[in-house]
Homo-oligomer: A and B are copies of this chain.
């Protein structure tokens, strides 16, 4: 056993701001999901300047301004979209509204950065793709469970260095805590607005499977959904899983659910297992259950031993600086458009063909 971190296992240097103040100006709007905070912070830490916030509910915009005091509150979406300084609009709208909003943003000549899931249906996907082609703008996605989790960032670096050989399988568990349902907005429980568990929180995992296997495409072999514990909310999937075959030759499996027990010290015991021909990696992203190790645990086993690396504070989040430079230079280093869309296409396919486990009327 070894818990040392040899040079081969060390993270790449921490990312630094990529622009000077004012060189990259963005706005935040439609704050329906709390992820907007992480999206904004990530861009600010990479050097971005958040000029505007807009939300139809003024109290939400005000709360955002308290967190990010440099921001101005806009009186309308149009005010933001009409500002020529704004290069990108970050948003975390209700999932069913994300594609129409993105198309408006791109048609206004700005890049779009949306919370996952980026959209909900094949029709929205086709429209969003068409709009990116027509406008030349970006429809970037905050797949936070990889790009904003240091353990996952480090896993990507290790795989790229060949630390586990060729990746054969990626397996992800994404349990979430539902908490008090009365504190959730209505859209959380309405299938037409949240999209189903595989489309919504599952999309994170399809993105990770594509990334960690280096695949451009995949096929859903089977999937299932169910409502095992929320009879008062019959349109909620509180369970989902999917088995996929990736174009690299690897397979993937994801399980997502809303059954994090109250006794867990965080919102979910997210795990990722990546099996390679020459080793494997386990990520304990948010907690190392029953220990005080904290999250960010990367366990790597290879021919030389068992290695534990705590990625917390060691890796950072290069996605955000890469995204800013992609906007400025019209490159695709943070994530390609095709990849961002393919992940949600798989999520939609898995949701569409999912077996209903509980005999519920969907």
Q: Are A263 and B222 in contact (CB under 8 A)?
A: no
Task: Note all chain B residues with C-beta closer than 8 A to A239.
Answer: 168-169
Stretch at the interface among A106-114, A131-139, A245-253, A316-324: A245-253
Return the CB mask of A252-288 against B: 1 if under 8 Å, else 0: 0101010101111100010001011111101000000
Q: Are A259 and B243 in contact (CB under 8 A)?
A: no
Give A278-309 interface residues, CB cut-off 8 Å to B.
278-280, 282, 289-292, 299, 301-308
Q: If the complex has contacts A224-B221, A269-B301, are A253 and B280 also in contact, measured as CB distance less than 8 A?
A: no
**How near does chain B come to A317, taking the closest CB pair, in angstroms?**
25
Q: Are B224 and A257 in contact (CB under 8 A)?
A: no
Bound Cα distance from A84 to B352, whole angstroms: 61
Q: If the complex has contacts A245-B355, A357-B251, are A302 and B222 also in contact, measured as CB distance less than 8 A?
A: no
Q: Are A280 and B259 in contact (CB under 8 A)?
A: yes
- Cβ-defined partner of A257 (8 Å) among B168, B269, B278, B357: B168
Q: Are A275 and B304 in contact (CB under 8 A)?
A: no
- Find the B residue at minimum CB distance from A287: B306
Bound Cα distance from A130 to B250, whole angstroms: 40
Task: Note all chain B residues with C-beta closer than 8 A to A241.
Answer: 169, 243, 251, 253
Task: Note all chain B residues with C-beta closer than 8 A to A168.
Answer: 226, 228, 239, 257, 259
Q: Are B255 and A243 in contact (CB under 8 A)?
A: no
Bound Cα distance from A305 to B263, whole angstroms: 4
Interface assignment of A229: CB less than 8 Å from any CB of chain B:
yes
- Find the B residue at minimum CB distance from A244: B222
Interface assignment of A7: CB less than 8 Å from any CB of chain B:
no
Main DSSP-derived SS at the A contact region: strand
Bound Cα distance from A355 to B289, whole angstroms: 35
Bound Cα distance from A114 to B359, whole angstroms: 38
Q: Are A290 and B275 in contact (CB under 8 A)?
A: no
Task: Note all chain B residues with C-beta closer than 8 A to A357.
Answer: 245, 249-251
Q: Are A243 and B226 in contact (CB under 8 A)?
A: no
Bound Cα distance from A221 to B225, whole angstroms: 13
- Cβ-defined partner of A303 (8 Å) among B261, B269, B280: B261
Bound Cα distance from A251 to B226, whole angstroms: 10
Interface assignment of A70: CB less than 8 Å from any CB of chain B:
no
Task: Note all chain B residues with C-beta closer than 8 A to A250.
Answer: 357
Bound Cα distance from A299 to B269, whole angstroms: 12
Q: Can you list 14 A-B pairs, Cβ within 8 angstroms, ordered by A?
A: A3-B290, A169-B257, A171-B171, A221-B243, A224-B251, A226-B249, A228-B249, A245-B355, A255-B275, A262-B303, A263-B304, A269-B280, A289-B299, A290-B307
